[in-house]
Copies of this chain bind each other. A is one copy, B any other.
Amino acid sequence: MPSVKRTPEVTMDKHAIYRHQGLGGTSGIGHKCALVLVDFVNGFVDADQLGGPHIAAAADRTVPLLAYFRAQGLPVVHTRVVFASDGADVNIFALRVPPLQKLTEQAHASQIVTPLTPEPGEWVIRKQSASAFFETGLAGWLLQRSVDTAVITGCTTSGCVRASVVDAMQHNLRTLVVSDCVGDRALEPHVANLFDMQQKYADVMTRDEFITQHQAITACT
């Protein structure tokens, strides 16, 4: 009886296929890290607006990480989604997801959550798209500070975090996602996107794993 030629896709599970094809590498930590806090604003920790308690927990876990970056004197950047109150810059994103249009400059929902309040000198980016890098000047801001590694936290994992991570890598930054400092409105997309990012774009590790590794690398200062 002739043997059937089975394709790798059929005989392997997801992880085996990715390994077989050479994905799942690492880009590591470089010479200088910056912390990017994506959209940790009031509207995204509220399940009745655009977020949920999983994101609130991620914000809480980010507080010591922010303190660590501040203690090291490393660059910190926060993003907020902010649309003009007269609708002048409503884009396709805000037409598809209308609650975004409520995130105006003065709205409570668009203010950064209190425990992560920016300090003077930390850059607060107002953005209208998913990625923290899209038309914001963030790549140039990091280049000016000789940053080669972006450490990404925030929300949502499957939305603005994922988009920011892809762009960070596309701008040739070594990119890290802090798995317990990113959150989402539902768990399934959170998990699925961490898998995608780890396989292709970014190293994924917990906050404490990052701090431990970073402390071990004295070159990264």
Contact = CB atoms under 8 A, between A and B. Distances in A.
A196 B184 CA distance: 12
Interface in A74-118: 84, 86-89, 91-93, 95-99
A135 B8 CA distance: 34
Interface string A126-170: 001111001111011111101010000000001100110011011
Interface stretch (A15-23, A58-66, A204-212): A15-23
A112 to B, nearest CB: 14
Contacts of A92: 27, 144, 169, 172-175
A7 B47 contact: yes
A88 to B, nearest CB: 4
Nearest to A85: B120
A37 to B, nearest CB: 14
Given A14-B188, A166-B166, A144 B193 contact: no
A174 B91 CA distance: 10
A137 B146 contact: no
A220 interface: no
A200 interface: yes
Interface of A: 7-9, 14, 17-18, 20-23, 25-27, 31, 47-50, 52-54, 84, 86-89, 91-93, 95-99, 120-124, 128-131, 134-137, 139-144, 146, 148, 158-159, 162-163, 166-167, 169-175, 185-186, 188-189, 192-193, 195-196, 200-201
A6 to B, nearest CB: 10
Contacts of A128: 137
Nearest to A195: B189
Contact of A8 (B47, B174, B200): B47
Kindly list the 7 A-B residue pairs having the minimum CB-CB distance in the complex, ordered from nearest: A192-B192, A144-B172, A140-B172, A135-B137, A9-B52, A8-B47, A25-B96
